[in-house]
Chains A and B, each alone.
Chain A
Amino acid sequence: MVRRVTRRVRVGVTRVGVVACVGVACLVGAGRLDDTVAVFDFRADANAAASFRERTYPESPWVAGSPAVIDDARLWMPEDAEYRVVEGRELTIAQSSGYGRHFLLTLLLPRTRTESESAPWVFCYACTPRTLGSEYEVLSDSGVGFLFARRRS
């Protein structure tokens, strides 16, 4: 008798529990779908409105103002070029190369980074056009301390 009652209670609790779980899932899934599609629509709008540069380059304080500089560099350097990354001492938002090194590595492939001081191309973080000296010709300047330059031959 007790066994039968226990079983019936167990069966009842299980059935109610399963229905409750599915009910909650329905409420969450159906209830949030509208918001989810709205999020997708918002993203679709934002992505469609973004420019080529906004989609292609990272938004980062490490490379603030620099998509144009990186694009200039990509368009100046041949594919077998070697470039160097240096840091100046000008306190600006781009005071350190930080993640910028990763961005350059990814965006400029197959061009390669080198530590050699004789590298014909150079990126300078936390720099002004004077930092690199007359040995270099500045080809692109972000205006916030990030430069791209070519060694004068």
Chain B
Amino acid sequence: MTTRAILGLVIFNVFVLAVGAGALWGTRGWRWWTDFVRLAGLAYLLGLSALMILTTFELVVGIPIGFLTILLTGAGLIVLGVIVGRRRGFTAPGLRPPGWRVPGMSLFSALFVAGIVVYFEGLFRAQRLAGVGREWDSWANWLPKARELYVTGRLEPEFLLLVTSQSPGYPPGPATIQAAAFHAMGSADTVTLHLQYWFLAIGFVLAVVGLLAKKVHGAILFPLLLAFLVAPTVLDWIVTVYADLPLAYLVAVAALVLILWVEEGKAWQLAAATVLLSAGMLTKREGIAFGACVLLAGFVASFADRRRLWRPLVAAGLIAFALALPWRIWFTAHGLPGDGPELGYVGAFSHLDVVWPALKLNVDTLLDADLWRYVPVLAAAAIVLAGLAGVWRLSLYAGVFVLAAVGTGTWVFWTNPVAFNDEWPIHRYTGITVLVLAVLAPLLLARAWSAAQDSRAAAEPPGSDLLFRRSRVAWLVVLVGVGSHFGAMLVGYSGSGLPGGLPSSQGVSSCVAAPVADARVRVVVGYADSYPEAMALREQAHAAGLVDAQASQDGCGRVRVFVDDLPSLATSQALVAAAQAAGLRPTVERDPDD
């Protein structure tokens, strides 16, 4: 929870972006750096996915995951991407195309972009000092594994058997990223770890914006994105140290890039979808189910081109699964229980009475306005409108995905009746479906709108020029969003409870109070990182004549050795002098017991 930890995370995420840039260069290349900036979000998610896949593989073959391993793995991926890109004939990119200018934006879009900026700024402040106190799955599954990886670099079968909240064979992908984040922060800082999820959320939004920027008018894209971001369930989970939303980011962007491949047929799009789906399979066990749903939707949507598209699609599915397979082979070879359904694959058929409640639970949760603020309803309307406008392929793709996801969800809750015990499993499962719909809905609406026009010129949104005409001036509105919090601080208002000042780091200094006149004080002989050290220090204090010296926790993770309950600053001076004479370095603090 220090500035150093935050800086470490920033550097780590730049590193992830660089790894993804290597992967993107190897598969796609870019002529202009302006192209890369547009696809930076996708590159980030690719970097994260590639690191997750490779570090899991390293775990399987027995390579310890430490700072150096992560660094070399990422560097290796970058070099590999550069070499492949060179061999494919990609030349060094130029800065920008001739005549390129900063893209304009409509005032209408700018208002929503500014809203998204304010959202992420607020989210950063909210989560910078968030604790893990109520994040049960973190304690029960992710953090033990991440800390074990951070400390030992390995996940031994004996350790996994101790982490009993999930099956020992549960995918370890998120734990490898968390461990890498700990290395970047310099400690297993579970508080600042929340900011890693902030970076993931930004990466996801940038990926969607970059992929859709040339295909969807901002007047459609940004309001829908903001509507999704403010959904209550998203607010609950967006920076919780769980794996549900990270899985959703991977599946949603994979689903988007896969349908773009079906429509445009560019090989890098299928490669990106493959890597993202594979990382999803290593993130949570549901990743396999959602990967299957995306691929099924892809098969149905590409039925008309099946001779050309189905073979590469089958290959993509097999490669995605093959990349996730080493972990499954490893835990099976070590005799660890798998992560299959609670009732088994056959046993569930003797509980057919659960099917209907499971289906109803899935549908009700998907349509619950209190959870999602109508995003699934909007997406359903978008599917219908796209179908009505004749945009069959995309409409079919989204429709099949929803049906497959609800069907799979029904199977999940049918075969795992324990999941009915509380509401969280279904919220978290459905969140992944909702996220896929959230990224497909803008594309569906844009296609429906375009298909309902007679000419390209008429494809612009209706309304006054002032609101919808593209202009670079609209960026000023975004800048206001960027500066909103700092501006509020300057005029003396801050909702963060830190009016007018820079945020404090809330480190060990928060357990040290400066002495004030007429208040009781304590003489602190020193702080220690363990009781044995503190006991030795206390003995020194006793020998120096501070016979009342005691040792106890300071409330910030250290042991304080001190003499307390002194009536005033003046009365402490004799003790300070005695301690100094014995070579100790005492300080005086306010005694908060006063």
Binding site for B on A (CB under 8 A): 10-11, 13-15, 17-22, 24-26, 28-30, 32-33, 35-41, 43-45, 47-60, 68, 71-72, 74-76, 78, 99, 102-103, 105-106, 109-110, 113
Interface majority SS (helix, strand, loop, mixed), chain A: helix
Chain A residue with minimal CB distance to B498?
A48
CA distance in complex: A124, B184 (Å): 36
- B129-170 vs A: 1/0 string, CB under 8 Å? 111111010011001100110011000000000111100000
User: Quick check: A22 and B557 within 8 Å, CB to CB?
Assistant: no
Contact pick for B374, options A28, A39, A53, A103, CB 8 Å = A28
Interface majority SS (helix, strand, loop, mixed), chain B: helix
Q: Which residues of A are found within 8 Å of B508, using beta-carbon distances?
A: 52
Chain A residue with minimal CB distance to B115?
A33
Q: Which residues of B are found within 8 Å of A52, using beta-carbon distances?
A: 506, 508, 510-511, 555-557
- B501-532 vs A: 1/0 string, CB under 8 Å? 00110101011000000000000000001111
User: Quick check: A55 and B129 within 8 Å, CB to CB?
Assistant: yes
Contact pick for B151, options A32, A48, A109, CB 8 Å = A109
Rounded to whole Å, the gap between the CB of B373 and the closest CB of chain A is 5
CA distance in complex: A38, B132 (Å): 21
User: Quick check: A19 and B462 within 8 Å, CB to CB?
Assistant: yes
User: Quick check: B227 and A15 within 8 Å, CB to CB?
Assistant: no
Chain B residue with minimal CB distance to A41?
B495
User: Quick check: A48 and B129 within 8 Å, CB to CB?
Assistant: yes
Q: Which residues of A are found within 8 Å of B123, using beta-carbon distances?
A: 40
User: Quick check: A13 and B388 within 8 Å, CB to CB?
Assistant: yes
Contact pick for A45, options B441, B496, B555, CB 8 Å = B496
Contact pick for A30, options B115, B504, B510, CB 8 Å = B115
CA distance in complex: A20, B118 (Å): 25
- The stretch that binds A, out of B97-105, B353-361, B445-453, is B445-453
Binding site for A on B (CB under 8 A): 1, 111-112, 115, 118-119, 122-123, 125-134, 136, 139-140, 143-144, 147-148, 151-152, 162-165, 188, 190-191, 219-220, 223-227, 229-230, 235, 373-374, 378, 381-382, 384-385, 388-389, 441, 445, 448-449, 451-452, 461-462, 495-498, 503-504, 506, 508, 510-511, 529-532, 534, 553, 555-559
Rounded to whole Å, the gap between the CB of B500 and the closest CB of chain A is 14
Given that A76-B531, A106-B144, A109-B148 are contacting pairs, would A22 and B235 also be in contact in the complex, using a CB cutoff of 8 Å? no
Rounded to whole Å, the gap between the CB of A134 and the closest CB of chain B is 21
Contact pick for A59, options B134, B162, B235, B382, CB 8 Å = B134
User: Quick check: A43 and B131 within 8 Å, CB to CB?
Assistant: no
User: Quick check: A17 and B226 within 8 Å, CB to CB?
Assistant: no
Chain B residue with minimal CB distance to A100?
B139
User: Quick check: B389 and A10 within 8 Å, CB to CB?
Assistant: yes
User: Quick check: B230 and A33 within 8 Å, CB to CB?
Assistant: yes
Contact pick for B143, options A10, A22, A40, A106, CB 8 Å = A106
User: Quick check: B134 and A58 within 8 Å, CB to CB?
Assistant: yes
Query: Of residues A40, A43, A55, which shows the largest number of chain B Cβ atoms within 10 Å of its Cβ?
Result: A40
Q: Which residues of B are found within 8 Å of A55, using beta-carbon distances?
A: 1, 129-133, 191, 506
A-B contact pairs, 27 of them (CB 8 A): A18-B445, A21-B378, A22-B219, A25-B226, A26-B112, A26-B223, A28-B230, A29-B230, A33-B118, A35-B230, A37-B495, A40-B125, A41-B125, A43-B127, A44-B122, A44-B497, A47-B127, A47-B129, A52-B510, A56-B132, A56-B190, A57-B133, A58-B139, A75-B558, A78-B532, A102-B165, A105-B163
User: Quick check: B162 and A105 within 8 Å, CB to CB?
Assistant: yes
Chain A residue with minimal CB distance to B530?
A75
Chain A residue with minimal CB distance to B381?
A21
User: Quick check: B115 and A43 within 8 Å, CB to CB?
Assistant: no
Given that A48-B129, A52-B557 are contacting pairs, would A36 and B235 also be in contact in the complex, using a CB cutoff of 8 Å? yes
CA distance in complex: A10, B152 (Å): 63
User: Quick check: B129 and A37 within 8 Å, CB to CB?
Assistant: no
Rounded to whole Å, the gap between the CB of A24 and the closest CB of chain B is 6
Contact pick for B227, options A18, A28, A51, A59, CB 8 Å = A28
User: Quick check: A41 and B163 within 8 Å, CB to CB?
Assistant: no
User: Quick check: A28 and B119 within 8 Å, CB to CB?
Assistant: no
